[in-house]
Amino acid sequence: MPEIYLATGYEAGDEASSTYEGRHLTLEESYLTHPSHADGFVDKGDPVLCGEIVGVALLSAAAATDLISLDTEGIWFLNATATDEDGNSAIAPGDELFINRTTAILSKDPNKQSHAFFGYALGDVPTGTTAVVAVKVHFDPVDAVELVGTSAVPYALGIHNNGREYRYRSTATAGDIRGIYTALGLNGVGSAGEAVRARTIVEAVGVAGGVHGLHGGVEFDADGTLTGLGAGVRGTFLGPNHAHAGGSVAGGMSELFAEGASTNYAGFTEHSIHRFVNDGEATGKATAQNVFSFAGLSATQNQAHNAWLASISRSLRVIVDGAVFYLALSTAP
C-alpha cells in the first residue's frame, strides 16, 4: 500500500481519516479496478473497486503509481447496464447496483463472487441497455463468511422465536425456483462435509414440544393444486457417470446414534429408526391408503416370491412401480 497509509510513526488511536471523516480515500492507481481505457489507467469519474471498497475516482491517472482520491459516498451520474443475474432487467429508482470485479461495469447482478455492492439507482435505465443514471454511491463492506454466535457462545435470541426469517414469493412459470440454494464443493482428499447442517439441541429438562433437527414441508393455499410430484422432504444421491469403487450410498438415511455407553433407548416411550405418521383431521387422514411407494425398481429389487404363509394376519399396502402390493406382517418375531 502506498506511503499515505503506512503505519510507520503512528500509534494505535491516531486518526488517519481524510476528507469528510474518511469519505474520501486515497489509493495508488495500481490497486484500482476500473473501466477499460486505451491508456490502461483510471479516468476521473470512473466507478472503481479495491477489494470490497467502492467509489468514484476524483482524478485521472497517467501512471500506475499515481495516487488517486476516491469518493466512497455521494450521488454521481454513471453508466449502468440494465441486466441482472438472469439477463435483461430494467433499472428503476431504488434498485441496488453492483460493480463487476473485473470490468467495473455497473448492473443489477448481485453475485458476490463476480460483483460487489456499489450503491442505489436514482433513475431509470430501459431493460438491456446501458445509459447514464444518477447513482447513490455507498461503501458497504460485506464479508462472504457470516458468523452469528459460536458453539461455545451461541447468539442469545431471548424471548424471540426466529433467529432469521426469509419469506419469498415467485411468479416465474418455468425453471427450478428455490428460496435458498446452497452448494458445497469438497476439494480436499479425506474431507467430509454437508451442504447444510441443521442441529436442534435440547437443553432444558422436560421440553414437551415436537423437536426436529430439520423440518421441511409442502403446503397449499386455498386454491393451490399440484400436477407433479410433491414431497415434504426429498433426498437424492446422484450416481456419478463414471466407474467408481468403494463407499456406501443411499438416497436417504435415518439413523439412531448412541452418544455413549449410557445411552438407553428403552427409557423412551417409543423408539424406531424411522417413523411413519399419518396425521391431521380424522376424516381426511382416513382417505390415505398407502404406506410405501416404490418406483423404478430393478428386476433384482422386485422379484416374484412364494405365496403368503397362513400365519400372516396383517399387511401393509404399498406401491411398487405403480402396482399395489401388500407387505406381510406378523405379531410374532
Q: What is the pLDDT of residues 165-212, one digit of tens each?
A: 888 899 988 888 889 888 888 888 888 898 888 888 888 888 888 888
Mean pLDDT, range 159-169, rounded to an integer = 86
Four-residue CA torsion sign, 230, 231, 232, 234: negative
- Residue 4 is predicted with a pLDDT of 62
- Residue 16 is predicted with a pLDDT of 67
- Residue 201 is predicted with a pLDDT of 85
Confidence label for 143 from pLDDT (cuts 50, 70 and 90): low
- Residue 148 is predicted with a pLDDT of 77
Q: What does the buried/exposed string (b/e) look like for 171-199 if buried means 16 or more CB atoms within 10 Å of the residue's CB? A: eeeeeeeeeeeeeeeeeeeeeeeeeeeee
pTM, 2 dp: 0.62
309 pLDDT higher than 60: yes
Q: pLDDT > 90: what percent of the chain?
A: 39
- Residue 306 is predicted with a pLDDT of 57
Terminal CA-to-CA distance of the chain, rounded, Å?
Answer: 76
Highest mean pLDDT among 20-29, 100-109, 150-159, 264-273: 100-109
Confidence label for 151 from pLDDT (cuts 50, 70 and 90): confident
Mean pLDDT, range 312-321, rounded to an integer = 72
Mean pLDDT, range 104-128, rounded to an integer = 93
- Residue 18 is predicted with a pLDDT of 61
- Residue 59 is predicted with a pLDDT of 94
Closest CA to 132 of 145, 118, 121, 117: 121
pLDDT one-digit tens code per residue, 85-97: 889 999 999 999 9
For residue 295 the three cell numbers come to 418406483
| Those residues with Cβ within 8 angstroms of residue 9's Cβ, 6 or more apart along the chain or in another chain | none
* Mean pLDDT over the full length of the chain: 86
308 pLDDT higher than 60: no
For residue 217 the three cell numbers come to 414441508
pLDDT one-digit tens code per residue, 228-252: 888 888 888 888 899 888 888 888 8
Using the 8-state DSSP alphabet, how is residue 71 labeled? E
Mean pLDDT, range 36-48, rounded to an integer = 97
175, 162 Cβ separation under 8 angstroms: no
60 pLDDT higher than 60: yes
Rg value, the chain, Cα: 30
Angle at 231 between CA 196 and CA 280, to 5 degrees: 110
